[in-house]
């Protein structure tokens, strides 16, 4: 009886999805877009190799000051470090002049029918404007057309294949593993 029940559940799932394929496709495409955009690394100069020494030094200064706070002899009655005890030092984190993170995240483009070749100069640290723009394109899909999510920046491939410590397994490959659950969630969210 268990296998009959499972088969009936599968059949109900298929019938429900057939009733509104465009809604399922739009929901799945939106979930895929959101996942890819939010997994896209946003430049963080503190993580760059060029800043490894500065980051390490700044961490050591912070650890030194934390250790000072553990010794009551270094504290005033109010619980603050006594004057002259705190180490006020640090190294600057460097990045190119005018650098602003978020260009890669903003470069995700949604198109219908054919992949887009567009490259935008936009910057989007949060990802929300990029997702909203993509959703507005996805909303026009009729359920029969292919929906493309592309990023045409020259370094997109390098980021997908491990160049970033923020996304060592990529964004697209990780998202594709989850597509089955996106489909299930889309079908479950259909009106009954």
Q: Write the pLDDT tens digit of every residue in 96-151.
A: 777 777 899 999 999 999 999 999 889 999 999 999 999 999 999 988 889 999 99
pLDDT band at 5 (very low <50, low <70, confident <90, very high): low
Q: In this structure, how many other beta carbons lie within 10 angstroms of the beta carbon of residue 3?
A: 7
Position 5 in a domain: no
Mean pLDDT calculated for residue range 177-184: 89
pLDDT band at 2 (very low <50, low <70, confident <90, very high): very low
Residue 119, classified by CB atoms within 10 Å of its CB into exposed (0-12), middle (13-18) or buried (19+), is: middle
Question: SS3 sequence, 108-164?
Answer: EEEEECCCCCCCCCCCCCCCHHHHHHHHHHHCCCCCCCCEEEEECCCCHHHHHCCCC
pTM: 0.69
Q: Which residue has the tokens 């109900």?
A: 12
Q: Write the pLDDT tens digit of every residue in 70-82.
A: 999 999 999 888 9
What is the Cα–Cα distance from 156 to 107, expressed in whole angstroms? 9
When comparing pLDDT for 43 and 147, which is higher? 147
Total number of domains in the chain: 2
Domain limits at 88? 45-100
Q: Which of 63, 82, 100 is the C-terminal boundary of a domain?
A: 100
Query: Could you tell me if 91 and 114 lie in one domain?
Result: no
Position 30 in a domain: yes
Residue-by-residue DSSP string for 19-74: H-HHHHHHHHHHHHHHHHHHHS----GGGSGGGHHHHHHHHHHHHHHHHHHHSGGG
Q: Write the pLDDT tens digit of every residue in 155-178.
A: 999 999 988 878 889 999 999 999
Tokens of 29: 């495409």
Q: Write the pLDDT tens digit of every residue in 12-29.
A: 555 666 667 888 889 999
**Contact between 55 and 84 (Cβ < 8 Å):** no
Query: Could you tell me if 34 and 108 lie in one domain?
Result: yes
Query: Could you tell me if 87 and 114 lie in one domain?
Result: no
pLDDT of 16 reads 61
Position 13 in a domain: no
């Amino acid at each position: 009886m268990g296998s009959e029940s499972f088969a009936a559940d599968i059949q109900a799932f298929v019938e429900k999805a057939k009733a509104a394929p465009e809604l399922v496709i739009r929901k799945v495409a939106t979930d895929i877009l959101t996942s890819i955009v939010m997994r896209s690394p946003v430049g963080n100069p503190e993580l760059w190799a060029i800043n490894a020494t500065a980051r390490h030094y700044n961490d050591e200064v912070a650890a030194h000051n934390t250790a000072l706070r553990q010794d009551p002899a270094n504290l005033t009655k109010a619980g603050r470090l006594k004057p002259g005890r705190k180490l006020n030092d640090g190294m600057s984190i460097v990045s190119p002049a005018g650098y602003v993170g978020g260009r890669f995240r903003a470069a995700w483009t949604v198109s219908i029918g054919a992949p887009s070749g567009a490259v935008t100069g936009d910057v989007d640290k949060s990802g929300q404007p990029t997702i909203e723009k993509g959703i507005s394109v996805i909303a026009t899909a009729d359920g029969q057309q292919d929906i493309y999510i592309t990023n045409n920046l020259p370094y997109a491939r390098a980021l997908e294949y491990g160049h970033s410590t923020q996304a060592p397994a990529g964004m697209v490959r990780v998202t594709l593993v989850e597509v089955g659950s996106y489909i299930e969630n889309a079908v479950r969210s259909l009106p009954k």
